[in-house]
Chain A
Amino acid sequence: MVDQLPNRGLELEMLHEMGFSSIDDLFSDLPEHVRMNEPLPLPPPQSEEEIIADARRLLGANRAMGDVVSFIGAGIYRNYVPSSVFQLVTRGEFLTSYTPYQPEVSQGMLQAMWEFQTLISELVGLPIANLSLYDGSTAAAEALTCVVRVHNRKATQKDTVYISELVPPDRMSVMYNYCQGAGITLKILKHNSDGTLDLASVKDAEGSCGVYVEQPNPLGILDGGLTQIKEIIGENTALIVGIQPVSLGLVEAPGNYGADIVVGEGQPLGSPPTGGGPIYGIFACSNPYLRLMPGRIVGKSIDVDGKEAYCLTLSTREQHIRRHRATSNICTNETLIALMGAMHMSLLGPEGLEHLAIRNMAACTIAKQKLSEIAGISLPHVASSHFNEFVVELPKSAADCLNYLDSVGIIGGFDLSRWYPNHSNWLLVSVTDQTKAAEIELLAAHIAVWSTLKEAVI
């Protein structure tokens, strides 16, 4: 029997008090022809014990990354979230609250989100951050529509933004879906054979509303050339940079090399991978974008006694006020996951972030070295610096390699032909702070064995 209904058994008493005789009376306003007269064809209710047993059985059938050796990344990364984050974020006062429409009893979450805005602002080098969008892809997509709203009037290439050709198709698809309604054209920025952005092609973006690039880029490359973009495109074209937040413990904040908007997948800071959601999207910007940006923002204010207090602000951009003229349709966002991010950032501190970034890059450096030593295997972008991941060019298909590695308990990486069909032999190998030196050795040894196999694995 369902155990979540405190008034079970009191139905008739309550109904009688209201002058009704049955529950049916409460649904008497439903026209006959729309009534569902049969019971729902669903299984019976379960007890908590039965549910958790089934959850363990079903989810236990999944291969958790921690149970195998994993080199898969490509946008979502294995990380470590300190225990206190989980313990604190499940406090009922945070967990079971909603959007702080009544600020007097929501100061905790409001202040935490104001602090989150500050942490993100400091991280990316821009003065303004909102309190999260759904994920990195929607943050990027919202940034594109935002820069068109801001720059279209002066643009010579109206309703046009330029996007790195390396952006993964699923992320590009989100951008298209968000942009097509506003009549925005997405044009492509080319890359050099070493994986860096073709700065000559950036010239084409002059006069458009914005340029979207990623640092590190989807091949894991840290591209110094991105620091020159703003000079090329000028004041009236926005530079949007997508980031991996942990990298910013070593890599210059994009706000310091001309980025007008910074977006990214917040996940590595505070959130387990969770199959890709819920995670949180970072969105930060400079002042000209403030009043046309998407998402909720907390401001510091005072109460009637002049006491420090926090509340949502600039709400007139939002759907519940502006309706179809809103800057975004977003209402529910990812506040609780952003809170996990804030907690993780608080625990790290500046030096902890740098240390975490060093761990990521150190593992990446070793993995590049080890894999490049395998005969018949090359690293097409070996001269570049990488964060988290790099491309390995194999003698045979990446799909076959992944099948082999899977058979020995290794998730070997990401088959890049899923993004770039011309590169069936490209494997994107991801390492993080969680990668052990012995795991890298194991990967290299097995790839070496696989590369000598004559037959396909499947």
Chain B
Amino acid sequence: MSRLFDFAGGTGMGYSQPEPLLPKTSIALPPSLSRKELPRWPRLSEPEMVRHYTWLSRRNFGIDTGFYPLGSCTMKHNPRVNEVIAQLPGIADIHPHQPEHHLQGLLSIFHEMQHMLAICSGMDAVTLQPVAGAQGEFTAVRCVQEYFRNRGETQRTKVIVPDSAHGTNPASAAMAGYDIVEIPSLENGRIDLDALRAVIDDTVALMMITNPNTLGLFETDVPEAAEIVHAAGGQMYYDGANFNAILGRTSPGLMGFDAVHFNLHKTFSQPHGGGGPGSGPIGVKSHLADFLPSPIVKKRPIASGEEQFAVDDMWYSWYVPQHTIGKVQQWHGNAGAVVRCWAYYRRYGYGLKDMSEHAVLNANYLRHALHREAALAGVSHMFVDGADAEVAKHEFTLSLQPAKEAVGVSAMDVAKGLLDMGYMAPTVYFPLVVPECMMFEPTETESRDTLDKFAKDFVKVLQIDAETLHAAPITTPVRRVDEVYAARNLCLKHPFDEE
């Protein structure tokens, strides 16, 4: 083990600094604010620090380590040029309060991203403010809320969310103050139009839905759902978590949505960084555009005197809509993530359609290969499709319920077995509508060879006897972690000696 606080008694200083312009004795501080004891931070030299974090990194699994079919998270390859670009001083070393003429390059990139996202989504206006998908949801819900307040429709106090939705949907709507109406899905997680009709009335502000749905199926009834909601005066919200499946093939605008968020970190490959940062811009139809938060960038041809700062003979300006909801993050959103995603988008251009097609191709191929290998090995009886559909989109589910009933092996057991085979496990136990669910999302950046090999290895895991599999994983840095122990014996920081 390498533990950071084992260096607490060390003498190292990781990097030397220039001397202060004045000694400490020349600095005046109110006596009541003078810090009595410095934090008990460790003291590491640079070589010790580098070795510690390198050691930690080797105990962590990323896309670079191996196949990462974590459903719903779109774990595609992160091109390294994006990291090089994000460290250029023109993005890393700029301040959000610098005047517009200092930031024309950044604003032009923002403008290009707004334009691209509007085109791909069929929306009229885009803001790059929200910094994560959930914050995008919240921002859009707030825009819809202000839209209705502005119209005097304050009786609209409800948001409809299908029971198969991501947890962020109801959480975001509740944060804005809405009552959540959860409607059950049909088999395959599909939207139940009758259930929708039963709850829709003029107290509904919004329906939130993702398409393809969380089972990876395209919801053909969404346009009709949109008609039902719109007829009652409500708005339709598209959760862009699964946007990677449809670029260039359809759009939320074509499906009848009024607002959408994009998970740039998923679709446009901002590295997920162990849990963030992300970027969650939103797009809206024109009737909601006036409520968006900044940053929004507008452009015009340059005027005289502006040449020295301008790029491409255009002048870019920040724009704040008249009825803006205000800010949901204090600055210009995650500008660094937007720049990385811009670089990713530039790699594809109009070929974004190819990206989605290959994501869908790979998902369907993996589903096919899993069934193929299971049949060859005689273990077809161990799982069934989570949803009964001829084609999946960018992800699909399997139910391990048959394995559970036949041999007592759970989806979690199989997940842990896959870790031993050198893979990240698929998402397990989501969505809840599929018993013993495993959700696979291979993404477009995996080769056929990888998919074939994974399918073979998956089947090998299914052939392991239950007792052995209950004990998996055995090759990982630690074995099954006791989450109940963690919750009952809370240890949320280093205890130090005296505590």
Contacts and interface: CB of A to CB of B under 8 A. Distances in A.
A319 to B, nearest CB: 4
Describe B's contact surface by its main secondary structure: loop
Interface string B73-113: 10101110101111111111111111100111110110000
B240 interface: no
Nearest to B7: A346
Interface stretch (B378-386, B457-465, B473-481): B473-481
Most buried by A among B29, B108, B109: B29
A296 B275 contact: yes
Nearest to A77: B95
B194 interface: no
A104 B419 contact: yes
B329 A343 contact: no
Contacts, number: 694
Contact of B92 (A76, A91, A273): A273
B5 interface: yes
B276 A278 contact: yes
B297 to A, nearest CB: 13
Most buried by B among A27, A128, A135, A343: A27
Nearest to B86: A274
B54 interface: yes
Interface in A241-264: 248-253, 256-257
A302 B484 CA distance: 10
A320 B133 CA distance: 13
A132 B178 CA distance: 26
A2 interface: yes
Contacts of B236: none
A350 B41 contact: yes
Interface string A375-406: 00000000001000000000000000010001
A69 interface: no
Contacts of B203: none
Contacts of B63: 92, 96-97
B205 interface: no
Nearest to A383: B28
Contacts of A319: 134, 167-168, 170-171
Given A135-B131, A181-B175, A40 B120 contact: yes
A92 B64 contact: yes
Contacts of B96: 76, 273, 275-276
Contacts of B265: 332
Which range contains the number of A residues in contact with the other chain? 35 or more
B311 interface: yes
Contacts of A322: 167, 171
B148 to A, nearest CB: 14
Interface string B58-71: 11111111001010
Interface in A308-336: 308-314, 318-326, 328-336
Given A62-B106, A352-B13, A252 B39 contact: no
Contact of A299 (B102, B119, B490): B490
B361 A45 contact: no
B94 A304 contact: no
A177 B172 CA distance: 12
Interface stretch (A185-193, A203-211, A232-240, A362-370): A362-370
Nearest to B128: A277
A163 interface: no
A7 B134 contact: no
Most buried by A among B87, B329, B332, B483: B329
A201 to B, nearest CB: 19
A102 B419 contact: yes
Contact of B102 (A63, A102, A114, A168): A63
B336 interface: yes
Nearest to B30: A224
Interface in B1-49: 1, 3-5, 10, 12-15, 17-18, 20-24, 26-36, 38-44, 46, 49
Most buried by A among B13, B275, B483: B275
25 contacts: A8-B354, A11-B357, A59-B109, A64-B94, A65-B95, A87-B50, A95-B62, A97-B60, A97-B274, A98-B70, A98-B73, A100-B275, A107-B56, A108-B56, A145-B175, A250-B27, A273-B92, A278-B334, A290-B490, A299-B486, A300-B491, A303-B479, A339-B274, A347-B44, A359-B18
